[in-house]
Chain A
Amino acid sequence: MSATTSLLQKMTAGELTRRVLNKEPLFILDVRNDSDAADWQIEGESIELINIPYFDLLEGVDAALEQLPEDKDVLVVCAKEGSSKFVAEQLLEAGRSRVYYLEGGMKAWSEHLEPVLIGKLQDGGSLYQFVRIGKGCLSYMVVSEGEAAVIDAARMTDVYSAFAAEQGAAIKYALDTHLHADHISGGRKLAEQTGGTYWLPPKDAEEVTFDYEQLEEGKVVNVGNIKIEIQPVYSPGHTIGSTSFIIDNRYLLTGDILFVESIGRPDLAGKAEDWVGDLYTTLHERYKSLPDELIVLPAHFGKITELGEDGAVSARLGDLYERNPGLQITAEADFRRMVTENLPQHPNSYQEIRQTNMGKIHPDEEQQREMESGPNRCAVHDK
C-alpha cells in the first residue's frame, strides 16, 4: 500500500465521556468476546457500536473494514486495551485513518468518574456529583469551608482525594446511603485514608466487621464551619437500612430507592416480598410528604438518556411523581406485583460485593475489578 500509515491515537475514558456528554458522533468497534460485549457496552446517543471479537480478526480485518464508516472517528475497544491496539493497528495498516483505541479498555471506562457541579450551597459550599458513566453509579461530594463529605463513594478513592485537594478541602466524612450490592464501596477506605469517619445505616451494618458511625434519622452531619446539614431520612426498601439525605434543604439524595426513570429493587439482600412493603411506604408516604421542590439525586442512572445536558443526573421530586414510571402505580397490591414481577437479573457477583462491603472478605484490586464488571442492575424498570 502506497498511502502513508496514519498514527494510532489513544482516547482516554475522560475524553470518551466528554464525547458522550457532548453527543459527538463516534463509531465504536468493540472487539471483546460476544458474551462480554452482550453483557455491557459503551452507550451514548451519538454512539454507534458493532461487536466483532478480536480473535475473529486474527487473519485480517476485512470483516471489520467493510462495516466501518469512513467519515467518522472509529474507536476500538476491548477489555483492557491490548487487543484493541492490535486491531486498531491493522486498521491503520489497511489504510484507514481516524482510528483510536480506548486507553485502559473497558476496565478504565468502568472506573472513570466524571465530576459535575450540581449547585452552590446557600452558605458558600458546593455539591458535586461524580458520574461513573461506564457503570451507572453516582456518588457525591459536599464541599464547604475546607471540609468535604463524600456520599456513596466508589472504590477509586484517589479521585475524591485529588478532587478535594483541588478544592482545598479535607475529607472528613464518608457516608453510604446503604450497604451496596452492585459496587464496592470506597467509603471505609476513604475515611481510613483521610482520618475521617465512615457512616453507615446500622440496620444494614449488623454483620460488618469494622467500626463505623451510625447514621440514624435525626442526626445531623455538619460539613464546614458554616452549617451545611446532611439530614438522614430513614427510607427502607432497597435495603432494610436504606437512608436518604437532605442537603441544604434543597437536595434529596435517594440512594438506590428512587431513580430518575425507575425505582430501586428490593431483593438484593433478601426476599423481594419482605421489603417491597417498605419500598412502597418510602416512595408513596415518606417521600410524598417531602417538599416537591427538592432536587432528587440518586445513586444510579439506568439509561444514558437520564444524563442531562451537563452530564448531571437529577430531577425535581414533584416532577418524578408526574413522570417516573415506577411512581405511577399507586395501589399497593399493583405496586407489589409490578416490582416483584419485573426484577431484572442480579448484578454480577452481588453476594461477594456485599461480603466485601461488610469487611468479611478481602479481594485484591484485580478481583474487585472483576467482581464489579458488567452493568449494575439496581433498578426495577417498567417494561
Chain B
Amino acid sequence: MSEPQEVQTLQVDKTLDCKGLSCPMPIVKTKKAMDELNPGQVIEVQATDRGSLADIQGWAKNTGHQYLGTIEENSVLRHYLRKSRPDEVKAEQKYPYVASNEDLQVKIAAKDAITILDVREPAEYAFGHIPGARSIPLGELEQRADELNPDEEIYVVCRTGSRSDLACQLLANKGFKQVKNVTQGMTDWKGPMEQAVEK
C-alpha cells in the first residue's frame, strides 16, 4: 500500500486500459497490443487486478520484453513495458570511442565536468538512472541535439550500449568532438542511481 501521491505521467507510445479486467485478460490484451508496437516502444498497461503485477513480470521475463516498473495510484496499477528489439543485445557496436561503466563511475566520483546523456525511453529513465543524467530518447536526438554543447565531454548511456552506439554516431556526424559510448549500459550499472518515480 503506497502513500497517496501526485499522479505522475510518463511518456509512452501506447496506453492500454485493462482496469476492471481480471486474469487472463490483462495479459491477453497486453500481448495483443505489444504485437502491434514497434520494437523499442513503450506501453503503459493500467490494471486493477493486483495479480497482474506478478503476471506481467513473469510474462515479460518469459517473452524477453523489458519490464520497466509499476506505479500504483488509487488502486490502479500502471505497468510499464518496452517491446524487445531482437537485434539489440547482439548488435555490433560501430562507434570507436568507448568507455566502460567503471570509467564513467571514476569520472563521476572525481566530479569531472562531463555530461551524461541517457538515450533510453523516458519511462526507462524514470524507473532508474544515473544521478544528473540528461534524458533525450534516441528517437528525439536528431531534433534535440542542439540542446547539447558540442565541445563538452559527453558519455552516452542506454540499457546495453547499442542505442547509445547509434546516438554517438549521430552526434559525431553533427560535429560533436568528445562523445563516448558507455558500452555495458544500465543493465550492468553498479554506481549510484536515482528514480524519477516511486515504484
Q: Which residues of A contact B (CB under 8 A)?
A: 33-36, 53-56, 58, 78-80, 82-83, 86, 366-367, 370
Which residues of chain B from 64 to 110 have any CB-CB distance to chain A below 8 Å in the complex? none
CB distance from B159 to the nearest CB of A (A): 23
Q: A33-B55, A33-B58, A35-B58 are in contact. Are A83 and B50 (CB under 8 A)?
A: no
A86/B24 in contact, CB under 8 A:
yes
B22/A55 in contact, CB under 8 A:
no
A55/B51 in contact, CB under 8 A:
no
Question: CB within 8 A of B24: which of A35, A83, A366, A367?
Answer: A83
Pick the interface stretch among B3-11, B25-33, B136-144, B183-191.
B25-33
B62/A55 in contact, CB under 8 A:
yes
A367 to B75, CA, bound (A): 11
B54/A55 in contact, CB under 8 A:
no
Residue in chain A with minimal CB distance to B32? A58
Residue in chain A with minimal CB distance to B59? A55
Residues of chain B within 8 A (CB-CB) of A86 are: 24, 28
B23 at the interface (CB under 8 A from A): yes
Residues of chain A within 8 A (CB-CB) of B31 are: 55, 58
CB distance from A79 to the nearest CB of B (A): 5
Residues of chain A within 8 A (CB-CB) of B55 are: 33, 53, 55
Residues of chain B within 8 A (CB-CB) of A54 are: 23-24, 27
B23/A80 in contact, CB under 8 A:
yes
Residue in chain A with minimal CB distance to B54? A33
Residues of chain A within 8 A (CB-CB) of B22 are: 80, 82
Q: A36-B54, A58-B28, A58-B31 are in contact. Are A79 and B23 (CB under 8 A)?
A: yes
Residues of chain A within 8 A (CB-CB) of B62 are: 53, 55-56
A58 to B22, CA, bound (A): 15
Residues of chain B within 8 A (CB-CB) of A58 are: 24, 27-28, 31
A79 to B62, CA, bound (A): 19
Which residues of chain B from 18 to 57 have any CB-CB distance to chain A below 8 Å in the complex? 22-25, 27-28, 31, 50-51, 54-55, 57
A78 to B27, CA, bound (A): 14
B23/A83 in contact, CB under 8 A:
yes
Which of B1, B27, B51 has its CB near the most chain A CB atoms (within 10 A)? B51
CB distance from B59 to the nearest CB of A (A): 4
Query: Given contacts A55-B27, A58-B31, could you give 5 more A-B pairs where the C-beta distance is less than 8 Å?
Result: A55-B62, A56-B62, A58-B24, A80-B22, A80-B23
B50/A370 in contact, CB under 8 A:
yes
Interface size on B, residues (CB 8 A): 16
Q: Which residues of B contact A (CB under 8 A)?
A: 1, 22-25, 27-28, 31, 50-51, 54-55, 57-59, 62
A32 to B46, CA, bound (A): 20
A79 to B58, CA, bound (A): 14
B50/A55 in contact, CB under 8 A:
no
Residue in chain B with minimal CB distance to A105? B23
CB distance from B151 to the nearest CB of A (A): 50
CB distance from B74 to the nearest CB of A (A): 14
Which of B23, B25, B50 has its CB near the most chain A CB atoms (within 10 A)? B23
B58/A55 in contact, CB under 8 A:
yes
Residues of chain B within 8 A (CB-CB) of A55 are: 24, 27, 31, 55, 58-59, 62
22 contacts between A and B (CB under 8 A): A33-B58, A35-B54, A53-B59, A55-B24, A55-B31, A55-B55, A55-B58, A56-B62, A58-B24, A58-B27, A58-B28, A58-B31, A78-B23, A79-B23, A80-B22, A80-B51, A82-B24, A83-B23, A83-B24, A86-B24, A86-B28, A370-B50
Residue in chain A with minimal CB distance to B55? A33
A53/B23 in contact, CB under 8 A:
no
A36 to B51, CA, bound (A): 10
Q: A58-B31, A370-B50 are in contact. Are A82 and B58 (CB under 8 A)?
A: no
Residue in chain A with minimal CB distance to B51? A79
A183 to B54, CA, bound (A): 22
Residue in chain A with minimal CB distance to B62? A56
Q: A33-B58, A56-B62 are in contact. Are A82 and B27 (CB under 8 A)?
A: no
Residues of chain B within 8 A (CB-CB) of A370 are: 50
Residues of chain B within 8 A (CB-CB) of A82 are: 22-25
Residues of chain B within 8 A (CB-CB) of A80 are: 22-23, 51
Residues of chain B within 8 A (CB-CB) of A36 are: 54
CB distance from A362 to the nearest CB of B (A): 12
Residues of chain A within 8 A (CB-CB) of B25 are: 82
A80 to B1, CA, bound (A): 21
CB distance from B146 to the nearest CB of A (A): 44
A241 to B31, CA, bound (A): 52
Residues of chain A within 8 A (CB-CB) of B59 are: 33, 53, 55
List the 5 closest pairs (A to B, CB-CB), nearest first: A33-B58, A55-B59, A83-B24, A83-B23, A55-B27
Residue in chain A with minimal CB distance to B1? A367
Residues of chain A within 8 A (CB-CB) of B50 are: 366, 370
Residue in chain B with minimal CB distance to A55? B59
A86 to B21, CA, bound (A): 14
Which of A58, A80, A366 has its CB near the most chain B CB atoms (within 10 A)? A58
Which of B24, B27, B54, B57 has its CB near the most chain A CB atoms (within 10 A)? B24
Question: CB within 8 A of A53: which of B1, B28, B58?
Answer: B58
Residues of chain A within 8 A (CB-CB) of B1 are: 367
A54 to B24, CA, bound (A): 8
